[in-house]
Chains A and B, each alone.
Chain A
Amino acid sequence: MTTQAYFRPRSLAEALGLLDEHGPAMLVMAGGTLAMPLINKGVSRPEKVMGLRQAGLDYVRPVDGGVYIGAAAPLSRVRAESGVPLLAEAVKNVAGWAVQNIATAGGNLFAPPPAGDLAVALLALDAQVKLASLKRGERLVPLAEFFTGFLTNCLDPDELLVEIQVPKPAGKSVLLKYGRLYTNTPAIVSVAVRVVTENGRAKDVRIALSAVGPHPFRARQAEAALTGSSLDSSAIAAAASAAAAECEPHTDPIASAEYRRRMTGVFVQRALAQVAA
């Protein structure tokens, strides 16, 4: 019935060893903001739980103009120390202060939409995630390939998500989150864009969306619509309507699917207009 063991490994090696020993029967928890409510309510009754707070994964480390973020880094640390665009703005939109102190960068990637505000920024920044297993070692996966569906991802049962790697960002970027309130509010839509221009033309375009699909994703058709353009208003409008067309919004108590789709177009347009300005 109640949890029999709560493991608090002191290193990544110890954590991977525990995962290897106990397998999927053991719940892996970072900050616990997703798992603990379910455990408190008795909805989730894991026999064994592993907490990653002490596993040495709470770093935020600048690397070559980019940043490597330990999976268990509290969001408040990411907000204060990331040193790259978008991330502080993304964290600012996650719940309240006390939650930002508990919730982690890695854990946020497992939040069910419309929660999970970090991924949309990381997608626009071309982030990769490092997955590690005791027996098979480490692999790097682009974040865009990490998500596979609603609450599903490419993480194997013997793997931990241990690090998020953000390369040195180029170009201009903007993040806009639209919710009912300014802070501590679930997203109606979150948009992150990053555009690298060359000779006045969009060379590299990232348009990432959250809360309007089963998982955070890059709006590839919107990106294609803008690539090569001079960021004029008609190209931006085309990208915005492509994003509205390719998103897969759902209806929940926050907003209807129809409204989410319309706002996706509006906020992609606004974000791109800010980048072009």
Chain B
Amino acid sequence: MSDQALNTVGKSELRRDGLSHVTGKTQYVDDIQFPDMLYLKMVRSPLHHARILGIDFSEAEKVPGFVRAFTYKDVPKNLYTILCLIGVGPDEEPVLAEKEVLYKGEQIAAVVAQSEEAAIEAAARVKVDLEELPAVFDVEEALKPGAPILKPWGTNYFVYEGHHCRRVRYGNIEQGFAQADYIVEGCYEPKPIEHAPLETTGCIAKPEANGRITVYTNTQALYFSMDNTALILNVPFNKLHFVGGTVGGGFGGKVDVIVEPIAALAAMHTGHPVKYLYTREEEFHVSSTRVAYRIYFKDGVSKDGHIVARQVTSYADSGAYNRHTPYAVTKHAANISGPYDIPNVHIDAHCVYTNRVPTSAMRGFGVTSASFATELQIDKIARKLGMDPFEIRLINAYRNGDMRPYQKVVGDATLVEVIQAAAGMAHHPLSERFQAMNSWDRANSPARPEPVSAEKRS
């Protein structure tokens, strides 16, 4: 490795797309135009939870330039879940709402018109008859008996292989607590965050002479979007041609498959290119946000600073539908023990449905919230024990060869070195013993507490 000549490492390479960006020649979705293009605007739920009694398009149809409207009846496979491609199920989100809406802003019907103005006006004239239903906005309230039930399977949680939450079991939590000198509890609530990319989510679907549909999209997940669109439209994958890769800011906010299926459907039915681009207001109101969590910690800690037991009960607010959140919660459950070697771990991470806007991916999703909470928690432990926040991390940091609670052996740890470097940059003095620690052995480290008993992961 050290003998190898490196061409790029250690050097700044200019961005490949830089010249195109600084000259304004980069083509984003909104820069593409076709002469016979139609514009799609969405009729959305004004209520958080309601039963749909009827939809009346008669006034919308009178708007000059109106072309046609779409409801769930027009969508070949209306129910989907994005992660079906990696085996997550069941399908539970409608492309267009059927009998019920579960969040304010949910898509009910699409209106297509010859101009954007006409589409806006026609969508505004669609009358939706709704019967308001009780809504639930809190993750713990949603799991209580008597809460309005949002899912056809009769609960408000995602089912992980038959379980009501994603579970991690390692060691023996009760015996771990019994060994501890202190119990330190904490509750942390990372909030939802809107990605707010400068370019709003959108696409243009264009029917081609050969029967294919070309979709120009700013998705961050081109093949996810194409495959889900093919499944929803019930067409072979080779009927779709997705053109993307230019994203005017995403940060995880453009991995949901929302605009492409309905725009492609409208293009198929009208024979025209159809543009569906969120307004800034839609980007804020109805695009997914980062997942909000409520995370309860109960840690058993020994006098010398070792975390010997960690019990976490975490509730992720998925909003009304899955999007990417069931997967995020699995990552969250795996990472909530932190980059620390804890011999007894008991995690229950719930993916909960509420009547909020669906949440999904954002920058390290599942893990960012876990890191936020674990790092606040370890600072709290350090304060409780009167220990240095760097030293307590070095004592607990995982080393190569350690077993993680989810049954993987650590092979690429450099945490000790990173903490040492961070202490140096922050001019935070570390004693010689802590400076001598490393990620490859436990020399200079206190004896490592062993798991109480090696239970099989359930």
A contact residues vs B (CB 8 Å cutoff): 1-2, 41-42, 45
Inter-chain contact B118/A1, CB cutoff 8 Å:
yes
Starting from the known contacts A1-B64, A41-B120, A41-B281, 11 additional A-B residue pairs (CB-CB under 8 Å) come to A1-B63, A1-B117, A1-B118, A1-B121, A2-B117, A41-B279, A42-B117, A42-B120, A42-B121, A42-B124, A45-B121
Name the A residues within 8 Å of B64 (CB-CB): 1
For the complex, would chain A's binding face be called helix, strand, loop or mixed by DSSP majority?
A: loop
Give Cα A42 to B117, complex, Å: 7
B110-152 vs A, Cβ < 8 Å mask (1 yes, 0 no) = 0000000110110010000000000000000000000000000
Name the B residues within 8 Å of A45 (CB-CB): 121
Give chain B interface residues in 410-449, CB to chain A under 8 Å: none
Give Cα A39 to B173, complex, Å: 61
The minimal Cβ–Cβ distance linking A92 to chain B, given in whole angstroms, is 25
The minimal Cβ–Cβ distance linking A95 to chain B, given in whole angstroms, is 16
Give Cα A42 to B124, complex, Å: 9
Name the A residues within 8 Å of B121 (CB-CB): 1, 42, 45
Name the B residues within 8 Å of A1 (CB-CB): 63-64, 117-118, 121
Most buried by A among B64, B117, B121, B281: B117
The minimal Cβ–Cβ distance linking B78 to chain A, given in whole angstroms, is 28
Name the A residues within 8 Å of B281 (CB-CB): 41
Name the B residues within 8 Å of A2 (CB-CB): 117
Residue of B nearest to A1 (CB): B121
Name the A residues within 8 Å of B279 (CB-CB): 41
Residue of B nearest to A39 (CB): B117
A-B contacts, 7 listed (Cβ < 8 Å): A1-B64, A1-B117, A1-B118, A41-B279, A42-B117, A42-B121, A45-B121
Give Cα A1 to B124, complex, Å: 12
The minimal Cβ–Cβ distance linking B103 to chain A, given in whole angstroms, is 19
Give chain B interface residues in 78-125, CB to chain A under 8 Å: 117-118, 120-121, 124
Give Cα A42 to B279, complex, Å: 11
The 10 A-B residue pairs with the shortest CB-CB distance in the complex, in nearest-first order:
A42-B120, A2-B117, A1-B121, A1-B117, A41-B279, A42-B121, A42-B117, A41-B281, A1-B118, A1-B63
Give Cα A2 to B113, complex, Å: 14
The minimal Cβ–Cβ distance linking B200 to chain A, given in whole angstroms, is 13
Name the A residues within 8 Å of B118 (CB-CB): 1
The minimal Cβ–Cβ distance linking B285 to chain A, given in whole angstroms, is 12
Residue of A nearest to B118 (CB): A1
Name the A residues within 8 Å of B117 (CB-CB): 1-2, 42
Give Cα A1 to B279, complex, Å: 19
The minimal Cβ–Cβ distance linking B14 to chain A, given in whole angstroms, is 29
Residue of A nearest to B124 (CB): A42
Name the A residues within 8 Å of B124 (CB-CB): 42
Residue of A nearest to B63 (CB): A1
The minimal Cβ–Cβ distance linking B193 to chain A, given in whole angstroms, is 13
Give Cα A201 to B127, complex, Å: 65
Give Cα A2 to B63, complex, Å: 12
Most buried by A among B120, B121, B279: B120
Name the B residues within 8 Å of A41 (CB-CB): 120, 279, 281
Give Cα A41 to B121, complex, Å: 10
Residue of A nearest to B279 (CB): A41
B257-281 vs A, Cβ < 8 Å mask (1 yes, 0 no) = 0000000000000000000000101
Give Cα A41 to B279, complex, Å: 8
The minimal Cβ–Cβ distance linking A216 to chain B, given in whole angstroms, is 27
Give Cα A41 to B281, complex, Å: 9
Most buried by B among A1, A41, A45: A1
Residue of A nearest to B119 (CB): A42
Name the B residues within 8 Å of A42 (CB-CB): 117, 120-121, 124
Give Cα A1 to B118, complex, Å: 8
Give Cα A41 to B118, complex, Å: 12
The minimal Cβ–Cβ distance linking A215 to chain B, given in whole angstroms, is 25
Residue of A nearest to B117 (CB): A2
Residue of A nearest to B122 (CB): A1
Residue of B nearest to A45 (CB): B121
Give chain B interface residues in 276-300, CB to chain A under 8 Å: 279, 281
Residue of A nearest to B280 (CB): A41
Residue of B nearest to A37 (CB): B280
Give Cα A42 to B63, complex, Å: 14
The minimal Cβ–Cβ distance linking B217 to chain A, given in whole angstroms, is 23
B323-345 vs A, Cβ < 8 Å mask (1 yes, 0 no) = 00000000000000000000000
The minimal Cβ–Cβ distance linking A39 to chain B, given in whole angstroms, is 10
Give Cα A45 to B121, complex, Å: 9
Give Cα A147 to B279, complex, Å: 33
Give Cα A41 to B282, complex, Å: 11
Name the A residues within 8 Å of B63 (CB-CB): 1
Give Cα A1 to B117, complex, Å: 8
The minimal Cβ–Cβ distance linking B112 to chain A, given in whole angstroms, is 16
Most buried by B among A2, A42, A45: A42
Give Cα A2 to B64, complex, Å: 11
The minimal Cβ–Cβ distance linking A214 to chain B, given in whole angstroms, is 24
The minimal Cβ–Cβ distance linking A177 to chain B, given in whole angstroms, is 24
The minimal Cβ–Cβ distance linking A1 to chain B, given in whole angstroms, is 5
The minimal Cβ–Cβ distance linking A181 to chain B, given in whole angstroms, is 15
Residue of B nearest to A3 (CB): B117
The minimal Cβ–Cβ distance linking A74 to chain B, given in whole angstroms, is 25
The minimal Cβ–Cβ distance linking A27 to chain B, given in whole angstroms, is 16
The minimal Cβ–Cβ distance linking B149 to chain A, given in whole angstroms, is 31
Give Cα A42 to B116, complex, Å: 9
Give Cα A102 to B26, complex, Å: 28
Give Cα A225 to B64, complex, Å: 62
The minimal Cβ–Cβ distance linking B18 to chain A, given in whole angstroms, is 24
